[in-house]
Structure 1
Amino acid sequence: MSLLSEAFLKAGHTLANVRRDFPEWHLGRPDYALWALDVDTQAVSQAVAVAAHHLDGLLLDGYRRQPHITLALGGFPTATPTHADDYGPAAFDAHLRALRSLGLAPFEIDIGGLASFTSAPFLSVGDPDGGIQRLHQTLGGERPEGRYIPHVTVGLFSGAWPTAEVLPRLEALADLLPIRCRIERVSLMRYAATEIGGPLARLADHDLSSGRLVWRETPPFPSAAGSDIPPPGRKEFIRPL
């Protein structure tokens, strides 16, 4: 039994997630941003769907977040940060400079079998080249939040289920054939803060080969490194190097 499975079993029960608004957290701020790897391929999406179906009856309904691997949390995007968990221009520029200084080339990962935290089951992620860990350290190394385990979330537990009963269901899909994915970009993503498990939207992509940042939506704040506003009529804007 793996250390993660032992910790899951020792917890006794899963954590019950609740579908409601959390105004005490978002304070009326509409979106939350994070840096992540987009792994929303057909093969990965199918594996997530198979795992979710396998755990039917244990998961919160309506989880619509696309397959991704979180690298680091950003915060609530704003041009004028006032709260500790706001994500402003200075923090964004620091992250972008760090990514460019890292100079990481595209790399490959493996997405495999089913495992779980007490709050959420996930597909495990293999990082043979160490690219994910390097990105996490570059983007989130200043925020120690315990052991970082890259993963692809399958859903959220809907109740306090006995872990001794859940674990055998997890182990039944623990040895899925790994799915090889090539990672060519790092994405700044956002989700609606009022919606639990709602879909992600890509704000921008940092291309690992060129070091360019391509905005997919209108930037949420101006940048000290130059204009980030997409020209009228264009759906994407390539930020200058």
Structure 2
Amino acid sequence: MSAWIHVMPPHTDTTVRNVRRDFPEWHLGRPHYVLWALDVDVAPVRERMALAQYHLSGLLLDDYVREPHVTLSLCGFPSASPLHDDDFGVTLLKGQIDALRRLAPEPFTIEIGALDGFTSAPYLTVHDPEARIATLRTCLQPPAHPLARDNYTPHVTTGLYDGSWPLDAVRARLAEFNPGAPLRLQISRLSLFGYAAPVIGGRLTRIADYDFTTQTLNGHETGILPFPLP
């Protein structure tokens, strides 16, 4: 499913094959999915992502067009009247914004590096020397959050595997990628994104940005949220 990345379990010997289809058993007819992420859609990262995709030609699902980003917290399916555990309502969003304002995060720097991978997807590594990502995740996704997860690795997904490829061969190919020097990026905002739930690897739509300098939430009219921003 397009909201989850499968972490490589210790005894798996092949990648997970992704398929381009609708997932009605997951989205239950709900049209959009929402997440908090760091927006890293800048020219140097796009270039490195394209080089990584070329390096992995023949292994990846076609038409992956999701913009470069670092997911911090999965929110769920936006709903004016939450019913399911993975519905995302205004109360949960307001709690996240209040927590961000208490935290008052400051701009920080991350580095984007070489290729690595989960069982279902390759990614560019993300180095966060000041552990700011972990702090933001704790703020956005406390243990009581319905989608809270412990197994988290910051990353920039570069695509999705389209076959059950031998992991040893895939690991070797990932290691052969020569990315050059790490890309240093200044992070000064956190973004709330949405995407069409039935489309695997589809584009992101920016719903709002939380600005670290002003500690304000700046919204964009998208029609994705069925409730006003707090």
How far is 1:146 from its partner?
Answer: 3.1
Task: Supply the AA of the counterpart residue of 1:169.
Answer: R
SS across alignment from 2:156: strand
Structure 1 moving runs of 4+ over 4 Å = 7-10
Moved more, 166-175 or 191-200: 166-175
Tell me the CA shift for residue 157 of structure 1.
0.4
The Cα of 1:176 is off from its aligned counterpart by 3.6
Partner of 2:158 in structure 1?
154
Relative to structure 1, is the Cα distance of residues 218 and 175 closer, same or farther in structure 2, using a 3 angstrom cutoff? closer
Q: What is the CA distance between 1:79 and its match in structure 2? A: 1.3
Task: Report the residue type matching 1:180 in the other structure.
Answer: R
CA distance in 2, matches of 1:173, 1:127: 21
1:170/1:221 Cα in 2 relative to 1: closer, same or farther (>3 Å)?
same
Note closer, same or farther for the CA distance 1:174–1:91 as it changes in structure 2 (3 Å cut): farther
SS in 2 for 1:198: coil
Q: Give the superposition deviation at 1:175.
A: 5.7
Q: What is aligned with 1:3?
A: none
Conserved in 2, the CA contact under 8 Å of 1:9 and 1:164?
Answer: no
TM-score normalised by L of structure 2: 0.91
C-alpha separation between the residues in 2 aligned to 1:147 and 1:95?
A: 21
Matching residue within 211, 222, 227 for 1:222? 227
After TM superposition, the structure 1 = structure 2 runs for residues 1-241 of structure 1, keeping only pairs within 5 Å, are 10-142=11-143, 143-173=147-177, 176-218=180-222, 220-222=225-227, 228=229
Rounded to whole Å, the distance in 1 between the matches of 2:111 and 2:55 is 21
Asked if structure 1 preserves the Cα contact closer than 8 Å seen for 2:35 and 2:74, the reply is yes
SS in 2 for 1:11: coil
The alignment covers a number of residue pairs equal to: 219
Partner secondary structure for residue 35 of structure 2: strand
Instruction: Show the counterpart of 1:235.
Output: none
Q: Is the 8 A contact 1:115 1:174 kept in 2?
A: no
> Could you say what secondary structure the match of 1:182 adopts?
strand
TM-score by length of 1: 0.87
Q: CA deviation at 1:216?
A: 1.3
Give the AA of the match of 1:166. Answer: V
- The 8 Å contact of residues 8 and 163 in structure 1, kept in 2 or not, is answered as no
Contact 1:187 1:204 in 2 (8 A): yes
- Structure 2 runs not aligned, ≥5 long: 1-7
Q: Which ranges in structure 1 are unaligned for 5 or more consecutive residues? A: 1-6, 229-238
CA contact (8 A) 1:40 1:67 kept: yes
Alpha-carbon deviation of 1:164? 1.1
Q: CA RMSD in A?
A: 1.6
Higher RCO structure, 1 or 2 (CA under 8 Å, sep 6+): 2
Shift of 1:183: 0.5
Report the alpha carbon displacement of residue 131 of structure 1 after superposing the two structures with TM.
Answer: 1.2
The alpha-carbon distance between structure 1 residues 77 and 211, as it changes in their structure 2 partners (threshold 3 A), is same
Residue 64 (structure 1) shift: 0.5
Contact 2:48 2:179 in 1 (8 A): no
* CA offset digits 1:91-147 (Å, max 9, x no partner): 000111111111110111000000000110000000012111111111123254232
